[in-house]
Amino acid sequence: MQPIATVVVTGPMIAADAQALLRDHSIDCVPMEPAAVERDLATVVAGRRPQGLIVRYGTVDARVMDAAPQLQVIANHGAGYDNIDVAAATARGLPVLVARAANAVSVAEMAVSLMLALLKQLRPFDDAVKAGRWRPAGVVPVELAGRRVGLVGMGATGRATAALLRAFRADLAAYDPQVTAGPAEPLARPFDRLDDLLAWADIVTLHLPLTDATRGLFNRARLRAMKQGAILVNCARGQIVDEAALAEALQDGHLAGAAVDTFAVEPCGTGLALLRAPNLIATPHVAGVTQEAFRRMGMMAAQNILSILRRTPLARENLVNPAVLDHPKLKAAPR
């Protein structure tokens, strides 16, 4: 069947079965080179005249949206959406949908892996063996069992992380002003104040979206509110943490260690002071990058596209801007 609609992927192609799903509904899927996305996404989108966007890289702002007058839907290939101007999309009648929870298990596994790497002193042991020093003096691992772990954010990823940590018999508590105590309670004891959680926890793991409220949330004062000798794990967004303040807290020993998978600017480059801080583990924003998550994100993005272009059932929990349904472009469409 000849494709009658086009979806542009702002980056490499999505999973094969997600492509097949779109083809079955006469939708052609066109990938872009990341370099082209970074150079001028609006110009490339204008040339393709897409009805849908699947966002993998780049920023989708009003200029990009206006470059594609045929555009009907924006689907993010992941759970975050801080790279999409949601207000501009809503004003233009464009639903913004995400692949909510598609990579939650992958990120949770990475968060716990990073905790274990810090607690078990994997970096110094690895360095010592490769340098022929065998066991370095004074480096002693500790157990995760019994450690107080504070989860900041109890959405899908926070809950998946808590579920894994229960198997290690860690003592769990959580803070998330956007989630009621009910869903969190079976997994972690809720705290009403973030600073109280930080004073309690041996390990703090972040699972928050980037919003105006969370940007810079872990500034110098908040990092100093953490227990002396605690560790911080950030598999959320780099802009949530003040990187210079984190480097300082590691340098002077207030924090015993940190692991970061995300940075304020990516790629972060070798000049970042945080990378020279002691007992830091850094990974290149790969917590959610697994084969399984890649397939789930592709399939959810494709299903989100179909919910608008082909009026298949809409997963409302994936819709970032529900107010858009009242826009004249969509209000008359059957649901």
pLDDT digits (tens, 9 = 90+) for 205-226: 999 999 999 999 999 999 999 9
- Locate 40 and state its tokens: 């001028």
Mean per-residue pLDDT, 86-96:
97
Q: Nearest-CA neighbor of 53 among 103, 98, 100?
A: 98
Instruction: Count how many domains the chain has.
Output: 2
For residue 322, the domain's CATH number is 3.40.50.720
pLDDT of 184 reads 47
pLDDT of 114 reads 98
According to DSSP, the residues that pair with 259 across neighbouring strands are 233, 281
Residue 34 has pLDDT above 90, yes or no: no
Mean per-residue pLDDT, 306-322:
96
CB 258 within 8 A of CB 247: no
Residue with tokens 């018999």: 169
Amino acid at 275: L
Amino acid at 50: P
Give the C-alpha separation, 91 to 300, whole Å: 24
Give the C-alpha separation, 304 to 102, whole Å: 13
Residue 73 has pLDDT above 50, yes or no: yes
Alpha helices in 67-179 (DSSP H): 86-91, 104-119, 122-130, 156-167
Domain range for 305 is: 5-102+291-331
Q: What is the 3-state secondary structure (H, E, C) of 63-90?
A: HHHHCCCCCCEEEECCCCCCCECHHHHH
Based on the fold, state whether residues 151 and 227 are members of the same structural domain.
yes
Based on the fold, state whether residues 130 and 268 are members of the same structural domain.
yes
pLDDT of 181 reads 46
pLDDT of 179 reads 65
Based on the fold, state whether residues 297 and 314 are members of the same structural domain.
yes
Based on the fold, state whether residues 81 and 146 are members of the same structural domain.
no
**Which residues are the active-site residues?**
237, 266, 285
- 187 pLDDT tier (thresholds 50, 70, 90): confident
Based on the fold, state whether residues 176 and 68 are members of the same structural domain.
no
pLDDT of 185 reads 56
Based on the fold, state whether residues 168 and 275 are members of the same structural domain.
yes
- 294 pLDDT tier (thresholds 50, 70, 90): very high
- 3 pLDDT tier (thresholds 50, 70, 90): low
The last residue of one of the domains, among 265, 282, 299, is: 282
Mean per-residue pLDDT, 280-294:
97
The last residue of one of the domains, among 248, 265, 282, is: 282
Strand order of the sheet with strand 5-9?
A: 27-31, 5-9, 52-55, 73-76, 96-97
| Span of 32-46, 175-189, 226-240 with lowest mean pLDDT | 175-189
Question: Using alpha carbons only, what angle is made at residue 267 by residues 261 and 273, rounded to the nearest 5 degrees?
Answer: 75
Based on the fold, state whether residues 93 and 116 are members of the same structural domain.
no
Q: What is the mean pLDDT of the chain?
A: 94
The last residue of one of the domains, among 247, 262, 282, is: 282
| Higher pLDDT among residues 10 and 4, named by residue | 10
Residue 334 has pLDDT above 60, yes or no: no
Amino acid at 120: K
Mean per-residue pLDDT, 170-191:
79
* Residues whose CB is less than 8 angstroms from the CB of residue 29 and which lie 6 or more positions away in sequence, other chains included: 7, 9, 13, 14, 18, 19, 22, 23, 54
Based on the fold, state whether residues 39 and 79 are members of the same structural domain.
yes
pLDDT of 315 reads 94
CB 218 within 8 A of CB 242: yes
The fraction of the chain above a pLDDT of 90, given in percent, is 88
Based on the fold, state whether residues 112 and 259 are members of the same structural domain.
yes
pLDDT of 335 reads 54
Mean per-residue pLDDT, 263-273:
93
Based on the fold, state whether residues 125 and 227 are members of the same structural domain.
yes
Based on the fold, state whether residues 120 and 203 are members of the same structural domain.
yes
Based on the fold, state whether residues 176 and 38 are members of the same structural domain.
no
pTM for the complete prediction? 0.90
Say how many Å lie between the first and final Cα of the chain, rounded.
Answer: 26
Mean per-residue pLDDT, 114-130:
96
